[in-house]
Chain A
């Protein structure tokens, strides 16, 4: 059991041991519920057919939500990023989950991501703006630039801003972040 836990992301040997010992002390019905939840999740949760977010239904909650704006589409690398953006409760458009980032070193090309389906969606659904919300790494930037080039003939493309985290002091920000923030500066209204 300890070995199984250790395979999970973010779990080291000590935590794995702690979790295993904790589970051994639980009543049997709780363990059963836990095991069943795992199996159920594995067998039921698939991808939304439209946005490729994790979903138990053919269409995810967000895609079914009629109150959301249909013209705004936010592109993210994976479901984790989508959930992070959802937590803000600020964004009211639709999403599209790529399932990764372009990285020749890892053998991931555009055809292995949900890029053809993205182009199709933009072309078909009358999207007025695509927001690229990808991490500012080499792979993220490559994917952003590639997508921008592909999508520009169809729609307006924007990218989320990079810069200082709210609540941090300017003097403590590292040089890389500050440089990025300077590059992305805005005129005062």
Chain B
């Protein structure tokens, strides 16, 4: 990138999002779209290679293979821990999917929060994958073994309860801690964006009943009791009623829920405030402003909000922006931007 902003313009299906996704994958080892590497490799190929040069000197490489998993290399050296790839290319993604953050399902808000917590504490992804595994195993247990003796099934469920209570407690704690750090930042952005008219609060509603001070032991025991208490209901409905998979983050604008009572414009402003808070927090944590990836989202914002976003991002963050047309952009966004027409790029040309 020669400028602070890179606009990638091109028709649908040319691979704009692909490029942004590749950057996201190299920067965070995760894709917001695909849950498995199999979906990231071209369907005719056995492997995929991502390569980037960051800060002019850091050569980052990530190889995805159909068999044998991933391999990460930094400056030509194979890394024993893929996590060590994260750092030079920290990024925060903002895609059209995020526009539903306020209006959409609670799952969207949980995913957004999870992405932030992951940046704060790398161990978190292990907790989440462990919890998801526990949930899947548990629901299979109900489905397959309705016929096994009750005492045996109960012993198995006990074994799951103990593990789920522990993992749930840790997830709840980390989510609530992350929200506590995000809230003041998001509130300040909302105040700025609404010209001091709106007060934003992030209200964590855990999917388990957590009372009293944040403390591991009492929370864990409380969740264990609740898991035991909901078993007959779980048997009837086939899904576990307690746990972080039922968490909700209520977004309150001047004390009324933005999801239900906010206007379309207000909802968009809240999305912007949340993403800016994320950007700020991640920047604060890693010591330098992260790369901002705007995938097909900028042109979706009205001119006023585009300018607010530009102002907020300022010269501090590098931006990678994709869109189908240049017309949607405010002139201010086009100025001092490097513009690439996707499809016209020479194969040998490296995007740095």
Contacts and interface: CB of A to CB of B under 8 A. Distances in A.
A104 B133 CA distance: 11
Interface in B258-293: none
Interface residues on A, range: 20 to 34
B130 A110 contact: no
B126 A176 contact: yes
A109 B155 contact: no
A142 B137 contact: yes
A109 B143 CA distance: 12
A143 B158 CA distance: 11
B321 to A, nearest CB: 34
A145 B148 CA distance: 18
Nearest to A146: B159
A179 B123 CA distance: 9
B136 interface: yes
Nearest to B143: A104
Interface string B127-158: 00010011011101101110010001001101
A75 to B, nearest CB: 15
B140 A105 contact: yes
Interface residues on B, range: 20 to 34
A111 B155 CA distance: 13
Given A105-B137, A174-B81, A142 B159 contact: yes
B83 interface: yes
Nearest to B156: A146
Contact of B152 (A12, A110, A176): A110
A141 interface: yes
A110 B123 CA distance: 31
Interface string A156-189: 0000000000000000001110010000000000
Interface string A86-124: 000000000000000011110101110000000000000
A25 interface: no
Contact of A109 (B68, B134, B136, B145): B145
Given A138-B137, A141-B163, 6 more contacts: A103-B137, A139-B137, A146-B158, A175-B122, A175-B123, A179-B123
